[in-house]
Amino acid sequence: MSTYLDYLDENALPLMWCPGCGDGTILKALLGAFATLGLKRENTVVVTGIGCWGKADDYIRTNAIHGTHGRALAVATGVKAFRPGLTVVALMGDGDCATIGGNHFIHAARRNIGVTAIVANNLNYGMTGGQFSGTTPVGSRTSTSPFGHTENPFDLCRLAEAAGANFVARTTAYHFKQMGQLMVEALQEPGFSLVEVVSPCPTYFGRFNKQGSASEMWRSLKERARAVGPGGTEAPAEAGSLEAPPDDGPDAPILTGRLVSRHKPSFAERYAAVQATAARAGEGAEPDAR
Ligand SMILES: Cc1ncc(C[n+]2csc(CCOP(=O)(O)OP(=O)(O)O)c2C)c(N)n1
Ligand code: SF4
């Protein structure tokens, strides 16, 4: 039986992330999910953007493409469209996914293409010094909002749901077991899947917002999580009923669990059907008008 170590490039250690950062834990959960599913390294493609979490591919022994900032999903879409049999995973920070790459995110979800997006949402741009991003809560202090952020944040899960993703889940870096289980489910989804992991950035977001030590930030994730769905303590959320408060500041509750799971045809299924129709038309048959 394989373990996360089968997918970890130990030669690349030590990890570059700051002490107390959530990225190492997310990496371990992801590689553990690969092991649970027994993914073949040669059939797995990890695509990253740029940023602290975007460095994750340095430590992963599968195929990998280190993309450009905000374009991980564009690259991943190309890979999956051309080779639908591959498992394609896009690793993005909230800057990558929801800010510079926001348009690729909504269109990947709308297409329902079979890519799994693992978003480390640390509520700011970590790598470049803690600027605000598209998920920074109102009132938060960042290096570009030293007196409090004025804009509403995206709720990534609501965005993905509204755009058409089949599988949408949120967890935190603290909830290691739940994180791994959600990743396993997401990786098996034929359509677009999102696992948003709310993750601590003690170096910038935590320090600017006086959230205490790294361990206090981790404890806060534990305390603020409100689990829904299987294993949760509250009623399961139905599709269209995500009740996460998106703009209640940096210490707001975090709704976690499998938030959306539905079975609309994926991009690959629809595309294969169109290809078959086109092939029949090429052989002289009437095109199917449906
Ligand atoms: C097109 C482009 N714009 C800006 C940058 C500079 N840049 C590198 S990483 C980064 C922010 C990363 O933040 P995020 O995606 O949230 O990831 P994190 O570092 O927080 O994990 C920025 C703005 C870049 N590399 N490319
Ligand atoms: S700057 Fe923040 S996100 Fe980047 S490695 Fe350090 S703690 Fe992690």
Tell me, what CATH number does 154's domain have? 3.40.50.970
Please give the number of the atom of ligand 2 that sits closest to the Cα of 16: 5
CA 265 / ligand 1 centre spacing (Å): 33
pLDDT tens string 74-105: 999 999 999 999 999 999 999 999 999 999 99
Ligand sitting nearest the alpha carbon of 199: 2
Q: Is residue 218 lining ligand 2, measured as CB closer than 6 Å?
A: no
Give domain status of residue 51, yes or no: yes
Distance (Å, whole) CA 82 – CA 76: 10
Pairing of strands 124-125, 131-132: antiparallel
Pairing of strands 167-172, 254-261: antiparallel
Q: Is residue 21 lining ligand 2, measured as CB closer than 6 Å?
A: yes
Give domain status of residue 171, yes or no: yes
Of 127, 132, 203, the residue with max ligand 1 atoms within 8 A of its CB, to mutate for a pocket test, comes to 127
Please give the number of the atom of ligand 1 that sits closest to the Cα of 201: 20
| Pair 194, 161: CB distance under 8 Å | no
Q: Whose CA is nearest to atom 23 of ligand 1?
A: 128
| Pair 31, 82: CB distance under 8 Å | no
State the residue range of the domain holding 180.
4-264
Give domain status of residue 100, yes or no: yes
Ligand sitting nearest the alpha carbon of 95: 1
Number of domains in the chain: 1
Please give the number of the atom of ligand 1 that sits closest to the Cα of 49: 15
How high is the pLDDT of residue 287? 59
Name residues of the chain where pLDDT drops below 50.
231-247
Distance (Å, whole) CA 200 – CA 173: 8
Give domain status of residue 147, yes or no: yes
Give domain status of residue 289, yes or no: no
Give domain status of residue 277, yes or no: no
Pairing of strands 124-125, 115-121: unpaired
Q: Whose CA is nearest to atom 1 of ligand 2?
A: 126
State the residue for tokens 């034929």: 190
CA 74 / ligand 1 centre spacing (Å): 16
Question: Within 10 A of 82 (CB to CB), how many other CB atoms are there?
Answer: 8
| Pair 92, 117: CB distance under 8 Å | yes
Give domain status of residue 117, yes or no: yes
How high is the pLDDT of residue 286? 63
Q: Where would I find the H helices in 53-130?
A: 72-82, 94, 102-111
C-alpha dihedral over 258, 260, 263, 265, to 10 degrees?
A: -120
Of 27, 48, 127, 132, the residue with max ligand 2 atoms within 8 A of its CB, to mutate for a pocket test, comes to 127
CA geometry: angle 4, 9, 15, nearest 5 deg: 95
Distance (Å, whole) CA 171 – CA 178: 7
Give domain status of residue 272, yes or no: no
Looking at the whole model, is its pTM more than 0.85?
Answer: yes
